Structure 1
């Protein structure tokens, strides 16, 4: 016999001994607001015994079998519930002015969890100016009953980064922060936090989610040497910010899963000289997004860099212009020469087998996607996103402009030519008329 059945057995013996043979009522336990609650909330357990013959009951509460809860009231309330209060509860009643007792109720489980916010991005975190994007914040899989705040992560001078509340953050129960047309200012690392309505219960800060917005023609370029997005471990890597004026007012910054937002010079293995960042010996934790930041805090030209121990894919650092050739190669660091004969894939589909160099002539926008290479013995490379830059509207208008300009430039010569031809024709007509008059 289970220990949890002992109170019921004792009650049955007492009822039989006292001569009561009528049906023994069975209580029912309810939990408000819910059986699954969050730490810090107010929770009430209620024991209802339906028996018209008894006017008053003394209530007995038990947790996890035989652990008595010091309460004789019909409702047992936790004003600020914690994980310690989680468990299985049941109740039974004894008559206050008699000897009758009820059965014990079925057990009801109270679950208490720490409210954790989870942030996701739709449709993707890599954007071009003008693209729409939505940040979605949920608390343990639910967005109801919460109000949300949105923050961007900032680099602080101490060991931990801080958070700045977005000035246009819409607090509400929707759990979504939508940007209809992204611009460069929306680039950043975002987090969210939720507050339980009317209870002042806060969730943890969510996971970080970066947004990278690429401009059509950024004022600065991030130059990477060697010029590729995937690199071997234990090699030197140089990243430089270059603009047309050769200004040194740029800083290389990065975002990694292990370190979050960082300056280039925040490690003994990295150094910043002017606008150039040098990583003396690459490690996998150097994988992340790198960009150029101005003195006023503007971010430009984000590049996703991967440091990998095995096979890597050589692909262009900058977006490929539509109509240009796209060249991909596969390398492995532990052979000489390091170039591999491998299979090449796009978005998981094989596009070319057993070649040392894959060339896609006259690349189009539809060929944008994730590319990687695979060798049957050496393994496969990480995936790299190949961006194809389509012809801009401004570019398509240039030929028309040149045509109009050429036409306008040629107008004076056309007018002069027409006038000369007209005069020549007129003089010929006059000459013919004079000859006819003479012959008459």
Structure 2
């Protein structure tokens, strides 16, 4: 008696992902559309209905929605896959699409954990996504205020520069259109270890 083992190789269908834009417009969103492409071994009609769609952002599950189309306003790397039936049969994941947000990010250069009095540091407001020209607005509780530019260079840091900094951008071509405020970044200027406190707190 001879037994023959026949292995049937059936490739899974793969999800496809399409974005109507790769940069989030000011105050707007980007529309992502997920679809299921038929596998070579299946007919196109078999992939046209019954699918739910599962969304991922930066490799993690993104919202509990199963719609074919979603709108996003956050930057990140998005992907999707389809699933149907019980138990759920999943497609292969789509290729990922990188969406760039125009929400500003405040950074410190150098990004040291401690800044001492007299050191040089730059506070920078960075907005990604396209060639848009921006005017910059800062909000801080420090004594000294940054200029309305994307970069604030502090040549000799003092206690008056300590505080929280956040920024937003305003489009030069359309002043009523602004980004969201960035997250705040804290700058804390300390005395040097060998320097008395009264010297650090003076000459602000």
Name the TM-score, length of structure 2 as normaliser.
0.43
Highest RCO, 1 vs 2 (Cα 8 Å, sep ≥ 6): 2
- Asked which structure has the greater CA Rg, the reply is 1
Higher helix share: 1
Name the TM-score, length of structure 1 as normaliser.
0.21
